[in-house]
């Protein structure tokens, strides 16, 4: 009985993880501007699209930002996607 519960729990977790992350994808950009007055970071990706998120505490211009984005249930367009999380990915001059 205990093995059955473990297997069932594992299957449920795997299902939830696959469902939960189906609409998320990674995107990398370079910080191009810091709006100190509004606590906003502005980054530009390789396609020239600008992305904004809040919380400039440790960010600097030319930092590389690795973002997890949500496609907002519209996989056919990127223009309404939402930044779920932004991670520091290094500095441009390090590469």
Q: Is residue 73 part of a domain?
A: yes
Kindly report the CA angle at 18 between 43 and 52, in degrees rounded to 5? 15
What local confidence, expressed as pLDDT, does residue 94 receive?
Answer: 74
CB of 24 within 8 A of CB of 70?
Answer: yes
What local confidence, expressed as pLDDT, does residue 53 receive?
Answer: 96
Q: Is residue 15 part of a domain?
A: no
Q: Is residue 8 part of a domain?
A: no
For 32-74, the pLDDT digits (tens) are 999 999 999 999 999 999 999 999 999 999 999 999 999 998 8
- CB-side neighbour CA atoms (13 Å) of 17: 6
Range of the domain at 53: 23-94
Q: Is the pLDDT of residue 9 over 60?
A: no
45 by Cβ neighbours in 10 Å (0-12 / 13-18 / 19+) ranks as middle
Distance CA 92, CA 73 (A): 32
Q: Is residue 58 part of a domain?
A: yes
Q: Is the pLDDT of residue 13 over 90?
A: no
What local confidence, expressed as pLDDT, does residue 5 receive?
Answer: 46
Q: How many domains does the chain have?
A: 1
Q: Is residue 76 part of a domain?
A: yes
Q: Is residue 70 part of a domain?
A: yes
pTM, to two decimals: 0.72
Q: Is residue 4 part of a domain?
A: no
CATH number at residue 70: 2.40.50
Q: Is residue 11 part of a domain?
A: no
């Amino acid at each position: 009985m205990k093995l059955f519960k473990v297997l069932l729990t594992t299957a449920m977790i795997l299902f939830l993880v696959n469902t939960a992350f189906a609409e998320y994808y990674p995107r990398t950009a370079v910080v191009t501007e810091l709006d100190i007055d509004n606590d906003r970071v502005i980054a530009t990706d390789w396609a020239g699209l600008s992305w904004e998120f809040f919380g400039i505490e440790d960010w600097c211009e030319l930092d590389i930002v690795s973002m997890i984005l949500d496609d907002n249930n519209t996989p056919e367009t990127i223009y309404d996607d939402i930044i779920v999380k932004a991670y520091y990915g290094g500095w441009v001059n390090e590469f």
